[in-house]
């Protein structure tokens, strides 16, 4: 192949190695020669030689939320840029985290990235024994897995403080699913509200628009409806906006403030103009991939627990700051 392409053997090797730096002309000539010869790289043979598959499993849930859909795309781009292929396992109601990870472990992997789900302690310990690093995003993880997420306690307090500073007296939070542990964001929000002595209510919206709208409608029909709602996700907050406007005929933000979390693209659409906490998606992905690749290169590295800051983006579903 090198002779046909008119390049060195090392140039052929670099061209056929994902992520390697090769001049465009060299890449073109090598790929043309490979096509003429009917050559395809033998990844299994390469794995046996290097003991590296260059495959990372992505185990993810909540892909109906655009935040995690965008995260999936960025993960794929970052891993591909570093010469890795991705194996996707999607967690759902009938395909749990343990099943998803077990399915991924049927393949030769170099590492696992998990988002909006986390392994059990037993599974994390098992992967640790195999020197298979795990990085978990969005959920508290076992000590054998690295974690990348935001400063949730500080975020919940800042959102509550933002609403209290507007003079709101009847706060509500719309969480995910009943029976699941409350998120740290919601717990700290509720603690701040309780410390301030204001009214506090909780409902559940299942993370998405439809559930958020239904939960907000229930809250607004109650005997003491809230004058401020914090939604754990942006899709639920968009549903809450529509519940206020179309189901309850309540003015936002004059009579009801709404704050979401995520800053998905739809949050900035003029029809919603949602005040929300901006989760630093690009930084989360960059830190997660860098942490995983570092542990792949050096399995003796201890798992890291990194937390990132998360600002509130002021838009039209809360009172302007000048009116406080």
User: Are residue 206 and residue 257 in the same domain, yes or no?
Assistant: yes
- Give the tens place of pLDDT for each residue, 169-212: 999 999 999 988 888 899 999 999 999 999 999 999 999 999 99
User: Are residue 303 and residue 317 in the same domain, yes or no?
Assistant: no
Q: For residues 253 and 319, give the distance between their C-alpha atoms in angstroms, rounded to a whole number.
A: 6
Q: How many domains does the chain have?
A: 3
Which phi and psi angles does 56 have, rounded to 5°? Answer: -120, 130
Which helix (H) or strand (E) covers residue 283, if one does? helix 281-297
Report CA torsion sign: 108, 112, 113, 117. positive
Domain assignment of residue 106, yes or no: yes
Higher per-residue confidence, 266 vs 19 = 266
Q: For residues 212 and 268, give the distance between their C-alpha atoms in angstroms, rounded to a whole number.
A: 18
User: Are residue 182 and residue 317 in the same domain, yes or no?
Assistant: yes
Q: What Cα–Cα distance (Å) separates residue 38 from each residue in 28, 45, 95, 275?
A: 15, 17, 39, 55
CB 263 within 8 A of CB 276: yes
Q: Average pLDDT of 49-55? A: 67
Domain assignment of residue 46, yes or no: no
Confidence tier at 49 by pLDDT (50, 70, 90): very low
- Give the tens place of pLDDT for each residue, 117-174: 877 788 888 888 878 999 988 765 567 788 888 888 999 999 999 999 999 999 999 9
Domain assignment of residue 75, yes or no: yes
User: Are residue 139 and residue 168 in the same domain, yes or no?
Assistant: no
Domain that holds residue 263: 152-279+312-323
- Give the tens place of pLDDT for each residue, 275-322: 999 999 999 999 999 999 999 999 888 888 888 989 999 999 999 864
Cα-only R_g, the chain: 24
- Give the tens place of pLDDT for each residue, 227-259: 999 999 999 999 999 999 999 999 999 999 999
Confidence tier at 11 by pLDDT (50, 70, 90): confident
User: Are residue 316 and residue 179 in the same domain, yes or no?
Assistant: yes
What six digits make up the tokens of 93?
């109601």
β-bridge pairing 275-278 and 199-204: unpaired
26: number of Cβ within 10 Å: 17
Residue carrying the six token digits 């392994």:
119
Domain assignment of residue 91, yes or no: yes
Q: What's the burial of 174, exposed, middle or buried (CB within 10 Å: 0-12/13-18/19+)?
A: buried
User: Are residue 163 and residue 191 in the same domain, yes or no?
Assistant: yes
User: What's the CATH number where 161 sits?
Assistant: 3.40.50.2300
User: Are residue 239 and residue 117 in the same domain, yes or no?
Assistant: no
User: Are residue 163 and residue 33 in the same domain, yes or no?
Assistant: no
User: Are residue 136 and residue 209 in the same domain, yes or no?
Assistant: no
Global pTM reads: 0.81
């Amino acid at each position: 192949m090198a002779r046909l392409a008119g390049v060195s053997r090392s140039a052929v090797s670099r061209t056929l190695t994902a992520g390697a730096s090769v001049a465009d002309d060299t890449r073109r000539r090598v790929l043309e020669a490979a096509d003429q010869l009917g050559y395809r790289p033998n990844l299994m043979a390469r794995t046996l030689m290097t003991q590296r598959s260059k495959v990372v499993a992505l185990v993810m849930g909540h892909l109906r939320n655009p935040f995690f859909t965008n995260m999936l795309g960025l993960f794929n781009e970052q891993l591909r840029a570093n010469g890795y292929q991705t194996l996707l396992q999607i967690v759902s109601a009938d395909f749990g985290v343990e099943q998803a990870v077990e399915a991924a472990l049927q393949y030769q992997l170099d590492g696992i990235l998990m988002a909006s789900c986390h392994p059990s302690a037993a599974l994390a310990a098992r992967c640790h024994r195999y020197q298979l690093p795990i990085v978990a995003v969005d959920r508290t993880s076992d000590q054998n897995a690295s974690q990348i997420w935001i400063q949730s306690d500080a975020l919940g307090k800042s959102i509550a403080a933002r609403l209290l500073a507007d003079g709101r007296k009847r706060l509500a939070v719309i969480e995910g699913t009943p029976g699941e542990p409350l998120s740290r964001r919601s717990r700290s929000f509720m603690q701040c509200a309780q410390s301030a002595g204001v009214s506090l209510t909780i409902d559940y919206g299942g993370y998405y628009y439809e559930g958020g709208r239904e939960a907000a409608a229930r809250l607004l029909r109650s005997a003491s409806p809230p004058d401020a709602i914090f939604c754990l996700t942006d899709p639920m907050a968009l549903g809450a906006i529509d519940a206020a406007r179309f189901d309850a005929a309540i003015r936002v933000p004059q009579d009801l403030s709404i704050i979401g979390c995520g800053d998905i693209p739809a949050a900035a659409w003029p029809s919603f103009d949602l005040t929300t906490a901006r989760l630093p998606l690009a930084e989360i992905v960059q830190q997660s991939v860098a942490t995983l690749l570092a542990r792949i290169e050096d399995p003796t590295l201890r798992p890291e627990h990194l937390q990132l800051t998360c600002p509130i983006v002021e838009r039209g579903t809360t009172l302007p700051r000048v009116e406080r």
